[in-house]
Amino acid sequence: MADGYSEWVVDRQLVPGMFQAFVDQLEPELRGRADAQILDVASASGEPAASLAAALPLATVHATDLTPRFVQLGAARAQRLGLRNMRCQVADAERLEPFADASCDAVCCCMGLMFIPNVAAALAAFDRVLKPGGALVITVAQPPEVQPFWTFLSELSEEMCPAAGAAPAEAPYPAEFGPCRFGDPQPLLDAAAAAGLSSIACRPMLLDYQMAAGEWWTSLTQMPDAPVAAALQRLQASGSGANAAEQARQLAERRLRERGWLQPDGSVCCPGNGAWLITARKGSQ
């Protein structure tokens, strides 16, 4: 799971605007600050940490995740990208034990809070490690009806393998911790206020999902949690013939073309996927 996510979502930048949003928020404020400490929580294999480390070479960016394999992959990625100002370590968002009180100028968490059981504890930990006036930047997904990419994958899977493809064989998350848990962001905003954060703001973003020419089918079938892989496996297990995978790829190509997502150069761009960008500050009491 970690390796597939790292390759197809992080390394190949499935949603490039997602990580850039963090740079846009923090770069103007932290540019030129040699002592700036940025903490990226639930960073998987290092995003938006790596984008921030590249944009703010004088800052130190700490990429953290609960899953040791992701942290390993993040460290390898930082080395590959030559990002000497990026450090990677295991940390639970609910405690952030390796980080001292008031030690961070900024905390970020991209598409992570939906999967963290005790969000109140995580927000309290963010508040604890932030310096007075420090910035918090969070993204979470909007509701399923504003996720055309994932709707497409469900519909394609169902068409490939009726009644089997719409959902993965095993649901990847308990329903209450699913990707759209904060489709209504109000409970998250209330929890941020309860944790003592101030200047809380929430605005919508629409993101493009992008896949390179010659890679999109591999991406769709190897990306963790995407229902296409499960549908394809069931199709092949049911003995639907050696050509099942190629027929499924051709079907996917037709459906992508019909939606106008297949670009003239063979790449895929699916626009209009909703996220919430939430910003806040540690009150300088």
Does position 42 interact with ligand SAM (CB under 6 A)? The reply is yes
Does position 138 interact with ligand SAM (CB under 6 A)? The reply is no
Stretch that binds ligand SAM, among 86-94, 184-192, 205-213, 253-261 (CB under 6 A): 86-94
CB of residue 19 vs ligand SAM: minimum separation in angstroms?
7
DSSP 173: S
- Which CB sits closer to ligand SAM, 43 or 154? 43
CB of residue 243 vs ligand SAM: minimum separation in angstroms?
34
Q: Kindly report the number of other CB atoms within 10 A of residue 12's CB atom.
A: 16
In terms of Cβ atoms closer than 10 Å to its own Cβ (0-12, 13-18, 19+), residue 242 is: exposed
CB of residue 265 vs ligand SAM: minimum separation in angstroms?
25
Comparing C-alpha atoms, which of 109, 111, 95 is closest to residue 39? 109
Stretch that binds ligand SAM, among 80-88, 111-119, 127-135, 244-252 (CB under 6 A): 111-119
CA dist., res. 51 & res. 159, Å (int): 37
Separation in Å, CA 29 to CA 32, 63, 105, 206: 9, 19, 10, 24
- The correct pick among 8, 22, 70, 216 for binding ligand SAM (CB under 6 A) is 70
- The correct pick among 30, 104, 110, 123 for binding ligand SAM (CB under 6 A) is 110
* Cis peptide upstream of residue 179 (ω within 30 degrees of 0): no
Count the site residues for ligand SAM by CB under 6 A: 18
Positions in 141-170 near ligand SAM (CB under 6 A): none
Does position 50 interact with ligand SAM (CB under 6 A)? The reply is no
Do 270 and 208 touch, CB atoms closer than 8 A?
A: yes
Does position 126 interact with ligand SAM (CB under 6 A)? The reply is no
Stretch that binds ligand SAM, among 62-70, 123-131, 197-205, 249-257 (CB under 6 A): 62-70
CA dist., res. 263 & res. 14, Å (int): 15
Question: 136-161 burial, b for 16+ CB within 10 Å, e for fewer?
Answer: bbbbbbbeeebbbbbebbbebbbebb
- The correct pick among 8, 10, 147, 230 for binding ligand SAM (CB under 6 A) is 10
- Which CB sits closer to ligand SAM, 54 or 245? 54
What would you report as the CA-atom Rg of the chain, rounded to the nearest whole angstrom?
20
- Kindly list the residues in this chain that would bind ligand SAM in the complex (CB under 6 A): 9-10, 42-44, 47, 65-67, 70, 92-94, 110-112, 115-116
